Chains A and B, each alone.
Chain A
Amino acid sequence: MRSSAQNKIRSISYAKYGYMFILPFFIIYFIFQLFPLFNTFKLSLYGNGDAATNTFVGLQNFSDLITGDGNISVVAQHKNVIRVFQNTIILWFGNFIPQLALSLLLAVWFTDINLKIKGKTFFKIVMYLPNIVTAASVAALFLMLFSKTKYGPINSLLMDLGMEKPIDFVRDKWNSRFVIMFAQTWMWFGNTMIMLMAAIMGISPSLFEAADIDGANSRQVFTRITVPLLRPMVIYVMITSMIGGLQMWDIPYLYKEGTTYNRNTETIAVYIYNHFHNVPHNYGYSAAASVILFFVTAILGSICFIMNVDKDAVARKKQIKEAKKQMKMQRKSSFGGF
């Protein structure tokens, strides 16, 4: 039973308040994110260097970066972009694969009721710790620990253990990449582990119990129950990690000697930053690289999204549709027969 006051209130439209509540978000979003996005697109169509920033060049920047047709500097620019994309992919794979493997293993162990693990909360807290430490400081710390002189802590340790010459961890192609991959894995595995754990705990425990009673071993449980049911979460982790990986900036940018940046660890984000900041300002190239990055992100995101669509749910929907169609047909035919 509703009182008259209640009825009166129901009849008032509160729609305008809805708009008022969400308006600030959208205004700020439009000014500070959406407009800048369009501005980036616009800048990608303009020239490079301080003098040419206002010259409209059409798709010249894109053709320079993608095909490299032109004079020596254009070819060099093209090679640069290919190199930074390669670097980004290599660094991403090098930190994502070990990170996923390690966190999956840990998540399965932590959620296994048969294993007696003490202090789970403690382990979780410690393993998440590297994730909250300032990335810039992590880069600075690793740079000092892996210093290439014989005085660097890691090198002095290795030389105490019998190495003859200090290893160049900062400038060497694969060594420097290795340190960055290690730092990224170190920072992110705890985060991935906690998310996967939450997903595993979301799987109905009765499934695990049933498997246990049926005598499934832990490998079977893992491949037949955990992995298939975990797929959406793994894909979600992949999307976020991929987008995070494409943005990788702090550590690759700071992990270098003095002010000369390392060509083997320069990522797309570092390229965008450097071309934007260094004189002459190559706004055009930097914006064009951003636009390419935008489309790569969009494509990767939608691939993951399509993969993530539950096939069973789609099949079920189809079946329901078919059934409805058939019902209609039947009804029609029965009418027709009539």
Chain B
Amino acid sequence: MSKNGNIKDNYAAKVRMKSICVMVFLILLTILCLLPIYILFVNTTRTSQNIINDGLSFIPHGNFINNIKETIHLDEIGTISFKAAVGYRNSAIITVAASFLTVFFSAMTAYGLVVYEFKAKTPAYTAILLVMMVPVQVTSVGFVQFMNKINLTDTYWPLIIPAAAAPAIVFYMRQYMKSSFPLDIVEAARIDGTGEFRTFLTIGLPMMKPALGVQAIFSVITNWNNFYTPSMILLSRKEKQLTMPMMVQSILSNDKLSDMGVRYTAIFLSIVPVIVVYCVLSRAIVDGVAEGGVKE
């Protein structure tokens, strides 16, 4: 009897030991995840002199407001294209417009593929699956050359309109609709005499709200972070057109800007919006990632 108890105790002790080790590892990893962002934040609160002389520091200093002020008025130094307000505006225009198109047209396509029976249904779905994985870089050369030919480079149209065709998101929405959209409701609407498109707008979209929400969050983040397509399309790099990541790049490649505090602050400003969005919606985002994985 006592022997049995011993084994049990041993087992429990072993599990507890393992739990503690795992926790320690997880905490270290958490620190590693947050550290670069934390150092970035601390450095936005320090003067350039302080950063150069003292190297790393983990305690916030008092120069935050000053750095922000200087960074916002950075364009007055000349040759540096970093205007935080302009960058925010441009990124916001592209992000909002592109995300709206992505979510709306993906939902519409998915709705068409689920609700209606037509000959091209299966081929269309297969085509969407096939093109889901074509990398952007593969088409980008032909894309930019084509846009150049029809005089659309240096405009936002090539960054916004293509967002309406997002195969991966159509795939996700179709899966979602398949599992949770009752087709009878469409029929009921027909009996009541509602037009097909109105049924989609007033019944289809509201019923897909959870899926729309998740995809809207993801597409806002992706579009905000997009750096490749804007730098391919906005060829002449006009200052008033630059997006936030492009402004970060212009900070990096400028040797004349020696103020370290301002450099860190510029990077900090570029990631603040996504961090804020993440703080508010982190739960939904993490669940969305998990769901996207399972849906495979």
Please give the residue numbers on chain A whose beta carbons come within 8 Å of chain B beta carbons, in ascending order: 5-6, 9, 14-22, 24-26, 28-29, 32-43, 106, 109, 114-118, 121, 123-130, 132-138, 140-145, 151-157, 160, 186, 190-191, 194-199, 202, 232-233, 236, 239-240, 243, 246-247, 249-250, 254, 258-259, 268-269, 272-273, 276-277, 283, 286-287, 290-291, 293-294, 297, 301
Closest 8 CB pairs of A and B: A21-B112, A156-B55, A18-B116, A39-B142, A195-B293, A40-B142, A36-B143, A136-B245
Q: Which residue of A lies closest to B278 (CB)?
A: A132
Also in contact, A290 and B293, with CB within 8 A (given A20-B112, A22-B109, A28-B164): no
**Which residues of B lie under 8 Å from residue A273 when comparing CB positions?**
228, 231-232
Also in contact, A134 and B56, with CB within 8 A (given A21-B111, A297-B134): no
Q: Give, as a whole number of angstroms, the nearest-CB distance from A310 to chain B.
A: 13
Please give the residue numbers on chain B whose beta carbons come within 8 Å of chain A beta carbons, in ascending order: 15-16, 18-19, 22-23, 26, 29-30, 32-34, 36-37, 39-40, 43, 51-52, 54-56, 105-106, 108-109, 111-113, 115-121, 124, 131, 133-146, 158, 161-162, 164-165, 167, 170, 187, 190-191, 196, 200, 221, 224-225, 227-228, 231-232, 235, 244-246, 248-249, 251-253, 255, 260, 263-264, 267, 270-271, 274-275, 277-278, 282-283, 285-286, 289-294, 296
Other A-B contacts than A36-B140, A132-B277, A135-B227, 19 sampled, CB-CB below 8 A, are: A14-B117, A18-B113, A21-B111, A21-B200, A26-B165, A33-B131, A38-B142, A109-B26, A127-B29, A128-B285, A128-B289, A134-B248, A136-B227, A137-B270, A143-B252, A194-B289, A268-B137, A272-B141, A283-B145
Check if A32 sits within 8 Å of B158, measured CB to CB.
Answer: yes
**Which residues of A lie under 8 Å from residue B285 when comparing CB positions?**
128, 132
Mind listing 30 A-B residue pairs with CB under 8 Å? A17-B112, A21-B111, A22-B108, A25-B165, A29-B167, A33-B165, A36-B140, A37-B138, A39-B141, A40-B143, A115-B15, A121-B283, A125-B283, A129-B34, A132-B275, A132-B285, A135-B227, A136-B245, A136-B248, A138-B36, A153-B43, A153-B51, A156-B54, A156-B56, A232-B296, A233-B293, A249-B137, A254-B252, A269-B137, A301-B133
**Which residues of B lie under 8 Å from residue A233 when comparing CB positions?**
293, 296
Also in contact, A247 and B135, with CB within 8 A (given A41-B142, A134-B270, A134-B274): yes
Check if B137 sits within 8 Å of A239, measured CB to CB.
Answer: no
Alpha-carbon gap, A35 to B82, bound state (A): 35
Alpha-carbon gap, A236 to B246, bound state (A): 32
Q: How many contacts A-B (CB < 8 Å)?
A: 303
Check if B228 sits within 8 Å of A28, measured CB to CB.
Answer: no
Q: Give, as a whole number of angstroms, the nearest-CB distance from B23 to chain A.
A: 7
Also in contact, A160 and B120, with CB within 8 A (given A33-B131, A294-B138): no
Check if A115 sits within 8 Å of B267, measured CB to CB.
Answer: no
**Which residues of B lie under 8 Å from residue A291 when comparing CB positions?**
138
**Which residues of A lie under 8 Å from residue B34 when comparing CB positions?**
126, 129
Check if A40 sits within 8 Å of B200, measured CB to CB.
Answer: no
**Which residues of A lie under 8 Å from residue B23 when comparing CB positions?**
117-118
Check if A25 sits within 8 Å of B139, measured CB to CB.
Answer: no
Q: Give, as a whole number of angstroms, the nearest-CB distance from A229 to chain B.
A: 13
**Which residues of A lie under 8 Å from residue B245 when comparing CB positions?**
134-137, 250
Q: Give, as a whole number of angstroms, the nearest-CB distance from A289 to chain B.
A: 9
Among A43, A109, A141, A250, find the residue whose CB has the most chain B CB atoms closer than 10 A. A141
**Which residues of B lie under 8 Å from residue A155 when comparing CB positions?**
55
Check if B113 sits within 8 Å of A198, measured CB to CB.
Answer: no
Check if A6 sits within 8 Å of B187, measured CB to CB.
Answer: yes
- Among B143, B260, B289, the residue within 8 A (CB) of A32 is B143
Alpha-carbon gap, A121 to B286, bound state (A): 9
Q: Give, as a whole number of angstroms, the nearest-CB distance from B115 to chain A.
A: 7
- Among B37, B227, B292, the residue within 8 A (CB) of A250 is B227
Q: Which residue of B lies closest to A202 (CB)?
A: B294
- Among B51, B137, B232, B289, the residue within 8 A (CB) of A290 is B137
